[in-house]
Amino acid sequence: MTSQGPFQVALRRTTSVILLFVGITQQAFAWGVDGHHMINRLAGMNLPNDVPGFLKTPEGLDALEYYAPEPDHWRGRGEPQLANESSPDHFIALERASLLGELPRNRYDYVRALASLQTSHPDLPLSVERVGTQPYQTVEMYERLKSAMRDYRALVALKRDTKPLEAEIVFLAGILGHYVGDGSMPLHTSIYPNGWTGPNPNGYTAEHHIHALFESAFVGANVGIDDVASLVQAEKPKVLGDVFEDYLSYLRHSNTLVEETYRLEKVGAFTGKGMPEGKKFAEERLAAGAIELRDIIYTAWVRSADPLPAREAPPTR
Ligand SMILES: [Zn+2]
């Protein structure tokens, strides 16, 4: 062993400070890194065998896992404009969004609908930054993935090199996985993202710790990928019909579990080693994320073979 000079010692100290900082900032992010990694890897592992093989190689799965937490890095302090634009993509406060009735299918129609709703509810925080854009981001990522997969099919037919497209597809699927993963965490679908507010007859925590406690500290310390794997395998892969509608149902189901998340926190199910019901709850939520992601990726692959819709006729003057 060589002795360490002042430079190495300084470097080691700096590295520890950086790692400590990364650890702290990740507390505030969606599912901790462990949860996001699990969701992406399990989705990839459980894709049916008729998807292109590169998605399921060890390198493909490693990359899928690697990209899982990436969108959280886009909403840090270092890139303020990107953070401002992209932060609403990680959540949707369904209790508020549902005031719109049926959600518009397109992002900008939704933004306009919220603005118009604000005029009739001046007392509620209804800006797009406060209500969130989760399902729009997810479906737009699905469509990016489907587009790349369509290009991949074309290159294969032409017997051209597909390597750059393979990298693009794995990247897009990995980023998609982040948002789908966020959607399985109940507090990402709610007006109570991190502490109860307003009337509180059941005495749920109003402190700002439940979010990171559940998704980062508890999952990181108590839930392993093998615990979740069997739940994902138990659900057969399927091709989704209307991806937007399916994804909204997935978010609405997640939203029905908001109060249960608070109840479990209250009884100590996520504290330290937690309780079996807390562990089961976390495993089911992680599995739900992996299942939805697997099915969306699979649907993108199957639907990427569809012929493009016919061009609309130009408007007559
Ligand atoms: Zn997120």
Q: Provide the residue ranges of all domains of the chain, joining segments of one domain with +.
A: 30-72+134-303
User: What percent of the chain is predicted at pLDDT more than 90?
Assistant: 87
CA distances from 181 to 39, 175, 246, 285 (A): 6, 10, 15, 9
pLDDT of amino acid 4: 44
- Rounded to the nearest angstrom, the distance between the alpha carbon of 133 and the centre of ligand 1 is 12
* Span 160-198, pLDDT tens digits: 999 999 999 999 999 999 999 999 999 999 999 999 999
- Rounded to the nearest angstrom, the distance between the alpha carbon of 30 and the centre of ligand 1 is 4
29: left (phi over 0), alpha (psi -120 to 50) or beta: beta
* Span 73-126, pLDDT tens digits: 999 999 999 999 999 999 999 999 999 999 999 999 999 999 999 999 999 999
- Rounded to the nearest angstrom, the distance between the alpha carbon of 251 and the centre of ligand 1 is 14
pLDDT of amino acid 30: 60
Q: Does domain 30-72+134-303 have CATH number 1.10.575?
A: yes
- Rounded to the nearest angstrom, the distance between the alpha carbon of 307 and the centre of ligand 1 is 33
Residues with CB under 5 A from ligand 1 (ion): 30, 90, 182
* Angle, helices 33-45/58-67, rounded to nearest 10 degrees: 150
Parts of the chain with a pLDDT under 50: 1-29
**What distance lies between CA 47 and its chain's CA centroid?**
18
